Amino acid sequence: MCGIIGYIGKQDAQSIIINGLKKLEYRGYDSAGISLINDKNQVIIKKTQGKIANLESILNHKDNGKIGIGHTRWATHGKPSDINSHPHVSNNAKFSVVHNGIIENHEELKNMLVQEGYSFASETDSEVVPVLLEKYNQGNLLEAVRKVIEVLQGSYALCVISSDYPEEILVVRKESPLIIGLGEEENFIASDIPAILEHTKKIFVLEDDEIGVVSAKGVVVYDSQGKLVDKKLVKVNWSLETAEKQGYPHFMLKEIFEQPGAVRKTLAGRIKEGTVNLDLDIEVDKIDKIAIVACGTANYAGQVAAYIIQSRLRIPVLVNFASEFRYMNPLVDENTLTIVISQSGETADTLAGLREAKSKGSKILTITNVLDSSIPRESDYVIYTQAGPEISVASTKAYITQLIALYLFILDFGYRKEILNKELVASWLSELEAVPEKIEEILNRSEVLEGFAKNIKDAASMFFIGRGLDSVSCLEGALKLKEISYIHAEAYPAGELKHGTLALITKAVPVMAIATSKKLVDKTISNISEVKTREAITYCIAFKNVRDIKDVDYLFTLPDIIDELAPILTVVPLQLLAYYTAVLKGNDVDHPRNLAKSVTVE
């Protein structure tokens, strides 16, 4: 995820910024850059794809400015490259800007600016900002920034320097964090506390639409109406290690709590007037079959999609683990759309599955989180999830955003194929837009899952049972528990228990039942009775107001949502259950034994 640092004061800005960027490395990035105003009052920019070490190798140590900004980029618009890295500069080379977030109307702004004679070097959304600053500059940087943000749509944390105003850094934010750190005759700016923690623990936290004018002597903050804001000083009492996790004890928990924001970002700009806008030019009329290929958690996202594609779109769909698909001589052809799902975009089996489908003439649609990784590079169409870097090995926010992307695809594809009508699409979309608040509501009750975890932590084995889409959520819940708590977990379609595995149920085997399907809830309740009769302690995830479910030992309720979208909510308590269980067992949550984040070998 992108990171920002800025400095103005008496010290060498270049070394402070480079050290700050290093403190942001844990967030994941693909390129880095720095901009200074040197003692000749020139804007200097050095930026490069790759690690901060690459950036250091191209720095000129004689660039001894006292004011500068730096950035680590995690590509969203425009592949990772030197030119797409930040900072970006205006045509007249006077304004330099770093940006976190997404400027949703960048195409429109770019077209307008090009018509006015401005040019663009990069493929990024961010470059419109320095160019707009040049256009609106009339001798007052604060005014120019105000005019720019009036025309921006989307989210941003912006940090601006200019050779016309070498005594100040302008900062502004909307839906993307930015803090100002206070020093003695020097001040700092950062997207994240760790970047400046070694210099100061006194900070101002910028709120949405506030603009800060930061000089060496002081900081002035204005609200959106231009009124001075009396900012409250916040004293940070974090260690550097805690700060990288923003106060969370593990990346996994941080990432679970980032899910509402990740869903919002994945939806951003993709819903227009009750329809989906994914910019995919798939020839839908030619497609008569869908294949879905992925591994692990990504495969379970695919299984959710397959269920809905079959039940709602009535299109034959084949879903398989990539490691199997690649060797099974799969039944795909030029009329098949193969959907490849991979958080990292680098999983070796998934890439091989893609190539197998392609060799049979299938078109490839990839859903991935990492821009320009190997899998999207070999695909015909791509939907990027906007989860930001996922550092914990256990996948959480990547799964939820894969589901969101898949729902958007199904609605778009079904509508364009004239299978789904406009009313249905609009109603699902408005439900999707309400998902972030519903996840927040679940997260606010996370201590309930911590309580469940205390009960199950000593179990040797646990069952997850459900029907329909709930049985797919069981797969993900069981995988999460196995992966980080090392408790054996079995996910089973609830109706299948009596065909063999009921023999394993005893009072020592807790059972988690997922019962969100309104159509199948009574059947699942019967299955809960079957395991209760065998003395199992029962846990259940269900919607509120489901009468009979009170009979389980422990119930966790979900905010209401249409059945087919329930997997998005169901997974959150399952993630938390696995997380708290692993913590209670003293396991290395973010780095479970024997596992790697990106599996680039067969």
Question: Considering only 90-98, 210-218, 338-346, 499-507, which stretch makes contact with ligand M6R by CB under 6 A?
Answer: 338-346
Cis preceding linkage at 87, omega within 30: yes
For CA atoms 365, 368, 374, 376, give the dihedral sign. Answer: positive
Question: Considering only 23-31, 311-319, 390-398, 485-493, which stretch makes contact with ligand M6R by CB under 6 A?
Answer: 390-398
Q: First vs last Cα of the chain: how many Å apart?
A: 28
In the complex with ligand M6R, the residue whose CB is nearer, 96 or 373, is 373
Which of 178, 175, 185 has its CA nearest to residue 160? 178
Q: How far is the CB of 151 from ligand M6R (least distance, A)?
A: 37
Q: How far is the CB of 393 from ligand M6R (least distance, A)?
A: 5
CA distance 343 to 370: 7
Cβ atoms < 10 Å from Cβ of 280: 17
- Asked whether position 599 contacts ligand M6R by CB under 6 A, the answer is yes
Q: Which residue out of 2, 159, 474, 540 is catalytically annotated?
A: 2
Question: Considering only 124-132, 251-259, 339-347, 460-468, which stretch makes contact with ligand M6R by CB under 6 A?
Answer: 339-347
Q: How does DSSP assign 305-322, residue by residue?
A: HHHHIIIII---EEEEEH
Q: Which residue out of 51, 417, 523, 597 is catalytically annotated?
A: 597
Q: How far is the CB of 395 from ligand M6R (least distance, A)?
A: 4
Where are any strands of DSSP class E within 427-504?
461-466, 488-493
- Asked whether position 296 contacts ligand M6R by CB under 6 A, the answer is yes
Q: What 3-state DSSP class applies to 91?
A: coil
Kindly identify the residues of this chain, within the stretch 395-424, that bind ligand M6R according to CB under 6 A: 395
CA distance 452 to 576: 10
Find all residues with CB under 8 Å of 582, minimum gap 6, and list them.
Answer: 484, 485, 486, 589, 592
Residue with token string 């509402």: 260
Crossing angle of helices 259-267 and 397-416, in 10° steps, is: 30
Kindly identify the residues of this chain, within the stretch 297-326, that bind ligand M6R according to CB under 6 A: 297-298
Pick one of 206, 282, 393, 511: the residue that binds ligand M6R (CB under 6 A): 393
- Asked whether position 394 contacts ligand M6R by CB under 6 A, the answer is yes
Q: How far is the CB of 347 from ligand M6R (least distance, A)?
A: 3
In the complex with ligand M6R, the residue whose CB is nearer, 137 or 575, is 575
Kindly identify the residues of this chain, within the stretch 421-480, that bind ligand M6R according to CB under 6 A: 479
In the complex with ligand M6R, the residue whose CB is nearer, 204 or 579, is 579
Pick one of 137, 342, 471, 581: the residue that binds ligand M6R (CB under 6 A): 342
The four Cα atoms 432, 381, 123, 176 give a dihedral, to 10 degrees, of 20
- Asked whether position 344 contacts ligand M6R by CB under 6 A, the answer is yes
Q: How far is the CB of 477 from ligand M6R (least distance, A)?
A: 11
In the complex with ligand M6R, the residue whose CB is nearer, 342 or 538, is 342
Pick one of 85, 124, 155, 347: the residue that binds ligand M6R (CB under 6 A): 347
Convert 433-445 to b/e letters by CB count within 10 Å (16 or more is b): eebbebbeebbee
Pick one of 124, 350, 379, 473: the residue that binds ligand M6R (CB under 6 A): 350
Q: How far is the CB of 117 from ligand M6R (least distance, A)?
A: 44
In the complex with ligand M6R, the residue whose CB is nearer, 347 or 386, is 347
In the complex with ligand M6R, the residue whose CB is nearer, 486 or 554, is 486
Q: How far is the CB of 582 from ligand M6R (least distance, A)?
A: 12
- Write the interaction track for ligand M6R spanning residues 256-295; mark x where CB under 6 A is met and - where it is not: ---------------------------------------x
Q: Are strands 88-89 and 179-182 parallel, antiparallel or unpaired?
A: unpaired
Tokens of 331: 């039944």
Is 159 marked active-site? no
CA distance 197 to 355: 47
CA distance 107 to 125: 8
What's the distance, CA 516 to chain centroid? Answer: 25
In the complex with ligand M6R, the residue whose CB is nearer, 14 or 350, is 350
- Asked whether position 366 contacts ligand M6R by CB under 6 A, the answer is no
The four Cα atoms 467, 549, 456, 436 give a dihedral, to 10 degrees, of 70
Find all residues with CB under 8 Å of 539, minimum gap 6, and list them.
Answer: 452, 456, 510, 511, 512, 513, 552, 553, 554, 555, 556
Q: How far is the CB of 66 from ligand M6R (least distance, A)?
A: 43
Q: How far is the CB of 343 from ligand M6R (least distance, A)?
A: 3
- Asked whether position 388 contacts ligand M6R by CB under 6 A, the answer is no
In the complex with ligand M6R, the residue whose CB is nearer, 14 or 297, is 297
- Asked whether position 483 contacts ligand M6R by CB under 6 A, the answer is yes
Total interface residues for ligand M6R by CB under 6 A: 16
Q: How far is the CB of 188 from ligand M6R (least distance, A)?
A: 35
Q: Within the chain, what is the greatest distance between any pair of CA atoms?
A: 82
Q: Are strands 211-214 and 219-222 parallel, antiparallel or unpaired?
A: antiparallel
Q: Which residue is closest to ligand M6R by CB?
A: 296
Contact positions vs ligand M6R (CB under 6 A):
295-298, 342-344, 347, 350, 393-395, 479, 483, 598-599
Active site amino acids: 2, 597
